[in-house]
Amino acid sequence: MTALSDNVFDESLSVDSRIAFLSTWIDASADALSQKDLVAAVDAGREILSVCANSIHLSLIHYFIANAHSALRKIAASGDSFQQMPWEDEELEQELIHLRISFSRLRDTSVGEITTDLPFRVATNLGNALNHIGRFSEAVELWDYVLKHAPSFGMANGNRSYGLFYYARTLYDSGHQLLFLLEARTAVENALKQPLEGNAAEGFAKLLKHIDAILPVETDARFKDFSLGRSRRERNYRNWVLTNRLFVNPLNDLGGRTVAATDVLTLPSIVTPVAEPPHLYGLFNQIKQEFVSARLMLFEGGVEEQDRFHFSDRDVLLFNTLDYPVYSLKIEKVKMAFLAAYSVLDKIAFLLNYYFKLNIPDRRISFRNIWYTSGGTDRTLRNEFSSSRNWPLRGLFWLSKDFYEEDTGFRDSIEPDAKELSAIRNHIVHKYLKVHDDFSWQESHGTLDFLVDRLCLSIRRGELHRKTIKLFKLVRSALIYCSMAIHFEESFLKAKRGPGMVAPMFLDVIEDRWKM
């Protein structure tokens, strides 16, 4: 590897040449299973990052560094089965971080500047990594992003079929399982018609045979069309929710089909002692209601067109601070939606604390710390989780790593935006978040120093909305993983109990007409 490594470090070469040599070095080191060279290549990649300014160059380097960490992870896990995969994995964390940075930079780059399939390779690999750790809902959206822009990208179709197949296995609703398997079969059939890498075709062909054994070709199941509401406003709202995949319904991960336009996900059947009331269902009811109500506030505050300001804003005396501030009920609705969605995460932790009998005091429960016996740098993963083969629960654990909690010592995160999301929440609750007009703020804010408000956290209106959408997607995924994790656990406990009498308890649904 001497010649390759020398070329990577040779500052007399162009950045393009050094990046090309870095890619070859990483590929050769991975093929040779050389951990030493992979670690050295990662260090070299970080050195090149320090002298780069071009977004495409930066994206490429982050992508190659992610590939190196992926190779290191696979070398370390050689011979292990899925069930033995460790919950904590530093190489996987680094792989995710670098893929996310690469993808983020590519999305911020003008389409005309990108002449390769790099965005599709990055998004596909990121989807694969998320699916590997149980974040299957988010993985599907990444593969769909690729196929929307490059329908013939075979590896996205093939990996999507794997993801949907295993997603189907987590579901408690047999009707949903059927639709997911049908979609998985279509995806793998499409993949086998397209160019593929390496020996991927062989694996995809085996998957198709396996799906066909479960789901005969003549299976007649289709996505039915459903009404999106009586009024134009309701239809606009439900279309927006479908498009952003924000219904609490796994079917929304299959796209914008109207059958998914309901919030049907709940907790699966849970076996409890006879005298125990169904309070877990009550808790999940409340969590879901808060999420869907916050979702409407986000729509009303950030999307819905309104002809005039709201009457509640009339005659409210406010001063123009010359930095293009925006004040209105709509802005406050987005802020309230942000806070409500963020609060759902700790409530999911509260639910898990009770379900898994962790006995963490209520005042100490948070979405980040529930997984560990202690906080800070010496934290240890709880035995209840470290020994578990619960794939959706593992996904929920890894999703928690996307969040930053300064108060509890969880300052490490695999999400580049985590600290900013935490800062927005902190400033809304405790300090001062100032929202500015998208089109005028940058010019004045960047040139007139005396206009900079140093008491607040400043954010443009569009950016606040984008960050809030991102948060809602994470919270919605957390709800899905929570439900599926409990389903997995109940299936495991049922098999462990063996045959025996379990008396059913039927719960009526709350009718829409009662929701006044």
Average pLDDT, 10 consecutive residues per value, the chain (516 residues) = 64 82 90 92 90 88 95 81 73 94 81 74 96 97 95 95 96 93 94 92 94 77 81 94 97 94 94 84 96 96 76 90 88 96 96 95 92 77 91 96 77 84 93 87 58 86 94 98 96 81 74 76
Residue of 401, 348, 398 whose CA lies nearest to 131: 398
331: three-class secondary structure by DSSP: helix
The model's pTM: 0.92
Q: Is the dihedral of CA 415, 416, 417, 419 positive or negative?
A: positive
CB 297 within 8 A of CB 337: yes
CB 370 within 8 A of CB 349: yes
Task: Give me the pLDDT at residue 284, please.
Answer: 96
Could you give the CA distance from residue 284 to residue 267 in angstroms, rounded to a whole number? 7
Residue of 250, 263, 247 whose CA lies nearest to 171: 250
CB 404 within 8 A of CB 419: yes
Task: Give me the pLDDT at residue 161, please.
Answer: 97
Q: Which residues pair with 405 in a beta bridge?
A: 410
Task: Give me the pLDDT at residue 105, please.
Answer: 86
* Residue matched to tokens 């062989």: 202
Q: Is the dihedral of CA 355, 356, 358, 364 positive or negative?
A: negative
Could you give the CA distance from residue 326 to residue 212 in angstroms, rounded to a whole number? 56
Contacts of 175 (CB under 8 A, 6+ apart): none
Instruction: Name the strand (E) or helix (H) holding 459.
Output: strand 457-460
* Residue matched to tokens 């890894």: 398
At residue 256, φ and ψ (nearest 5 deg) are: -95, 30
> Could you give the C-alpha distances from 377 to 147, 190, 412, in angstroms and in order?
41, 47, 10
Which two tokens mark 109?
A: 């780059």
